Amino acid sequence: MLKRIIKFLWRAALALSFFTAVGLLLPKFVVLIFAAPRTFSVEDVPQDRVAIVFGAGLLWDGSAGPVLSDRVETAVKLYQQGKVNKLLMSGDNRFIEYNEPEAMRQYALERGVPDEDIVLDYAGRRTYDTCYRAKHIFQVDSAILVTQAFHLPRALFLCNWFDVESTGVEANNRYFLKRSLIYWNARELFANFQAAWDVMITKPLPVLGDVEPIY
Which band of pLDDT confidence, cut at 50, 70 and 90, is reported for residue 5?
low
Task: Give the model confidence (pLDDT) of 114-158 as tens digits.
Answer: 999 999 999 999 999 999 999 999 999 999 999 999 999 999 999
**pLDDT score recorded for residue 173:** 76
Mean pLDDT of 20-49: 82
Instruction: Tell me how far apart the alpha carbons of residues 171 and 188 are, in angstroms, rounded to a whole number.
Output: 16
Q: Report helix, strand or coil for 167.
A: strand
Instruction: Tell me how far apart the alpha carbons of residues 71 and 145 are, in angstroms, rounded to a whole number.
Output: 10
**Which CATH number does 39-202 carry?**
3.40.50.620
Percent of the chain predicted with pLDDT > 90:
63
Name the burial class of residue 56, with classes exposed (0-12), middle (13-18) and buried (19+) by CB atoms within 10 angstroms of its CB: buried
Instruction: Tell me how far apart the alpha carbons of residues 184 and 170 are, in angstroms, rounded to a whole number.
Output: 15
Name the pTM for this structure. 0.87
- 165 touches 38 (CB < 8 A): no
Mean pLDDT of the chain: 87
Q: Report helix, strand or coil for 155.
A: helix
Beta bridge partners of 167: 144
Q: Is 62 left (phi over 0), alpha (psi -120 to 50) or beta?
A: left
**pLDDT score recorded for residue 165:** 96
Domain spans of the chain?
A: 39-202
Q: First and final CA of the chain: distance in angstroms? A: 72
Residue 174 has pLDDT above 80, yes or no: no
**pLDDT score recorded for residue 90:** 96
Residue 20 has pLDDT above 90, yes or no: no
Across the beta sheet with 86-90, the strand order is 39-40, 165-170, 142-147, 50-54, 86-90, 118-121
**pLDDT score recorded for residue 16:** 45
Q: What angle do CA 177, 149, 204 make, to 5 degrees?
A: 115
